[in-house]
Structure 1
Amino acid sequence: MTDAPTDPALDVEPDLPGGDCKPGQKCPAAGDCDESKWFKPASLGGQYHKGIGPSQSNYNGSREKEDMDFTAEVSGTVGVSYSGEITTKISDVVTEVNMKFGASISMSMTAKLGNTVHVRDVPPHRTVHAQYGVWRRKFTGTAYWQHHTCYLTKNKVTGYGPLHVGWYTWDS
């Protein structure tokens, strides 16, 4: 997967309820505002692996290429994680990210016990490492909250949403 294309229009602030209301200011309109909360996705980043259980490794001490198998010894569930303050339900955030970027982020995924990966043709005197878990996609955006007093707050958010269960393997 690749990062979303950069588009200058994506950096524009959304249309805010209350017209010219700016973050941290009281709206000029008379009376109270309707309280509302929303999330505006800004970017979709790369994939990152969240391991379940310990990583495994195996050394090929022979003079020939060797095949290796690694089997998941634990299971676990990985959900959406984020830093920053989200003002809406996390399910709404995931929906907004998926709609804006055509992504397929989930609320959570379970990596199950017993899954096996086969690594072929490991060179002599190399160690292969394997970690079972969930691949996640990074996203960023802004959470908005227009209070009933017309005061607007916004918070930058960075999050990771589950994409698929799988292995991360590397050698050293």
Structure 2
Amino acid sequence: MGTIRSGVIGSAVVFSVISGISVGPAFADTPTATASDQPVAIGTAPPTEPEESDLIEVPDPESEETFKPEKPPIDTPNADYCSPKNVYKAKTKGARYHKGVGPTNSNYNGTSRTAKSTFTSEVTGEVGVAVTAGLSGSVSAMVAEIEAKYEVELSVKITAKLGNSMAVSTPPKKTTHGRYGVYRLKNTGVSYKLYSNCKTSDSKTITSYTPMAVGWSLWES
């Protein structure tokens, strides 16, 4: 994690990089601005990480193979017929979680007055869907179902790009931390297979984190 210390020279706030990735200089008369798509509030602790232990990151969902249903139970001559398919149903909309791209940078304001902290991303990274084990069918189909259920706009992957900036105020004797990345929506649903004789496999509870927007996560200490 990079650390940046600030000092005041006249009306300008000057940042010097101690370690890690540098951020551009910010001056007292520079207006606060952000190039990110997702507004963020300054918290008092780092962003919460997903607690699931069996999450699988899917960096390129569009390249995955379509699931082939297993052999169904034996049909009888007069049995009902259903078109075999994988089924996913969204059930519970959760909170947003932040997936970082690159390291966290920090700026300590050692002065007696508020200073401006400007963070600029110096890496580009792609963030895809994270999903717990057991999903039947494609990630793309799951994402489409979640979008339709909650009327939200999601993506199977988002690229957080180089050069995205965020400027915030750092109180005296406080440290502002900034992490660039992608916000993902948590969702819980069920997944199962429907066979040609209209029987279904056992359903599995699936937890997923789907990209929503690029943004910064900021907190003070």
**Please, what TM-score do these two structures have when normalized by structure 1?**
0.78
Aligned to 2:190: 142
> Structure 2 residue aligned with 1:50, among 96, 99, 114?
99
Aligned to 2:112: 63
Following superposition, which runs of at least 4 residues in structure 1 exceed 6 angstroms of deviation? 25-29
Between stretches 145-154 and 60-69, larger displacement belongs to 145-154
RMSD: 2.2
Aligned to 1:110: 159
The residue type paired with residue 177 of structure 2 is H
| Cα offsets for 1:15-74 (capped at 9, x unmatched) | xxxxxxxxxx99997487643211010011111100001100010001111011111021
**Please, what TM-score do these two structures have when normalized by structure 2?**
0.61
Matched, 1:124 2:172: yes
> Structure 2 residue aligned with 1:158, among 207, 217, 220?
207
Q: Secondary structure at the match of 2:202?
A: strand
Structure 2: runs of 5 or more not aligned? 1-72
Aligned to 2:125: 76
Structure 1: runs of 5 or more not aligned? 1-24
Q: Report if aligned partners of 2:191, 2:205 keep a CA contact under 8 Å in 1.
A: yes
Following the alignment from structure 1 to structure 2, what is the Cα–Cα distance between the partners of residues 55 and 154? 39
- Give identity over the alignment, percent: 37
Following the alignment from structure 1 to structure 2, what is the Cα–Cα distance between the partners of residues 31 and 118? 62
Q: Report if aligned partners of 2:104, 2:179 keep a CA contact under 8 Å in 1.
A: yes
Q: Residues 167 and 32 from structure 1, CA distance in 2 versus in 1: closer, same or farther, beyond 3 angstroms?
A: same
